[in-house]
Amino acid sequence: MSSRFRNLFLAFGIIAVIIMLFTFDVSYDELLGNLERAGIYLPLVLLLWLFVYLINTLSWYVIIRSSGPANGLSFSRLYKFTVSGFALNYVTPVGLMGGEPYRIMELTPYLGVERASSSVILYVMMHIFSHFGLWLSSVAIYACFYPVGWGMGVVLALITVLCLLLSIVFVKGYRNGMAVACVRLGSHIPFLKQRAIRFSQTHKEKLENIDSQIALLHQQRKSTFYGALSLEFVARVVSCLEVWLIMNVLTTNVSFVSCVLIVAFSSLLANLLFFLPMQLGGREGGFALAVGGLSISGAFGVYTALITRVRELFWIVIGLALMKIGNKKL
C-alpha cells in the first residue's frame, strides 16, 4: 500500500480516537479509580487479546495458504495487518467499512488484488459466521443451566431463527461467492447505484474470479474451511475470559459459563447497533442487560463494559501505531 493511503487510514483512526476520548461517559477521575480497582487484572485483560488476535491471524493465514504460496508474506506481518485492521473496524461506523479495505490494500502487493480480496472476504465471513455459532451455543447453554420462562423462551427462539436464517445466507455465499452479490446489493442503494453498476461492468471478470476462489474453499478444501471457522469460534470463546477476569475484580461467584452468555448476548445487542463506532452506548447497555438477565447486579455490567472499552482503546492505539511500523516496499 502506498504511504498516502496508509496515512489516510491512520489520520481517520486518530481523529476517531480523539472524538471517543472527548465523549467518554465517565469523568477521568472516576475512570482512573476504576482502573486502579482492576489492579493486576487489567494487564491480564490487555495481554489476553494478544492471544485472541494470534488465533484470528492463524485463521486468516490458513485461508491464505490454502490458495497458494504467500510470496514473502510472513505470519508476523499478517499479525500486524490483523491488529491494525481490527483497530480500524473498531473506530469505523458500520464496523467493516475501514479495516477490510485496509487489509486488501496491504495484501495486494503480496497476493494480487483478486486473491487478496477473496482471502479478506472469506476471513470476514468466517469471523461473522463464528458469531452465529457463539449465539446458537449460548441459546443451548442458557436452556441447560437456567430456567426458561415464556418471555425468555420467545427471545431464545427468535435468536435461534435469526442465526439459522443468516447461516443459510452465509452457506449460500460460501457456495457461490459474495463479491458479485455485494456489488449487486450496492446497485439498489441510493447514491451508490450508478457507481456500483459501473464498477460491476468494469470489473466483472475480477469479481467472478474472486467468487470462484471463495466457492473453491468451501467445495474442495473443506478441512481448511472448517479449520479456519473452528479457530474463529475458539477465539470467540477465549475472548470470554476477558469478562471472567473483570468480574473477578468484583465477585468470585460468576462462572465462566455465565461470562460466555454475557459476551454472547451483549455482542448480539451491540451488533444490532452496528452503525455506531465502537457500538457506543450499545455495548454498555448490552452488558447491563446481559448480567441483569442472569440475576447479576447491573453495576457489574457497566463496570465490565468500561474496562472493555479501555482495552479496546489500548489496542486501537497499538493497531494504528503498527500501520506505520515495519512497512517495506516490494
Least confident of 192-196, 231-235, 322-326: 192-196
Task: Match 467518554 to its residue by C-alpha cell.
Answer: 24
Identify whether 230 is part of a domain.
yes
Least confident of 54-58, 85-89, 189-193, 237-241: 189-193
Identify whether 190 is part of a domain.
no
Please give the model's pTM, rounded to 2 decimal places. Answer: 0.83
User: pLDDT tens-digit profile of 280-294?
Assistant: 444 555 555 555 555
pLDDT score of 81: 93
pLDDT score of 7: 67
> Mapped to the 3 state alphabet, what secondary structure does 260-299 carry?
HHHHHHHHHHHHHCCCCHHHCCHHHHHHHHHHHHCCCCHH
Angle at 250 between CA 248 and CA 254, to 5 degrees: 55
Instruction: Decide: 267 and 236 in contact? Cβ < 8 Å.
Output: no
pLDDT score of 276: 47
Identify whether 120 is part of a domain.
yes
Res 278 pLDDT > 50: no
Query: Of all residues in the chain, what percent carry a pLDDT higher than 90?
Result: 15
Identify whether 198 is part of a domain.
no
pLDDT score of 277: 47
Instruction: Decide: 52 and 238 in contact? Cβ < 8 Å.
Output: yes
Q: Residue 143 has what DSSP assignment? A: H
Identify whether 86 is part of a domain.
yes
Least confident of 60-69, 262-271, 304-313: 262-271
Provide the domain count of the chain: 1
Mean predicted confidence (pLDDT) in 183-202: 65
pLDDT score of 282: 47
Res 48 pLDDT > 90: yes
Confidence category of residue 47, pLDDT binned at 50, 70, 90: very high
User: pLDDT tens-digit profile of 123-168?
Assistant: 888 888 898 899 899 888 888 877 777 877 888 898 899 889 888 8
Res 36 pLDDT > 70: yes
Identify whether 255 is part of a domain.
yes
| Domain containing residue 290 | 3-131+224-322
Mean predicted confidence (pLDDT) in 205-228: 75
User: pLDDT tens-digit profile of 248-260?
Assistant: 877 777 788 888 8
Identify whether 210 is part of a domain.
no
Identify whether 143 is part of a domain.
no
pLDDT score of 60: 93
pLDDT score of 142: 82
Res 94 pLDDT > 70: no
Instruction: Decide: 156 and 142 in contact? Cβ < 8 Å.
Output: yes
Confidence category of residue 209, pLDDT binned at 50, 70, 90: confident
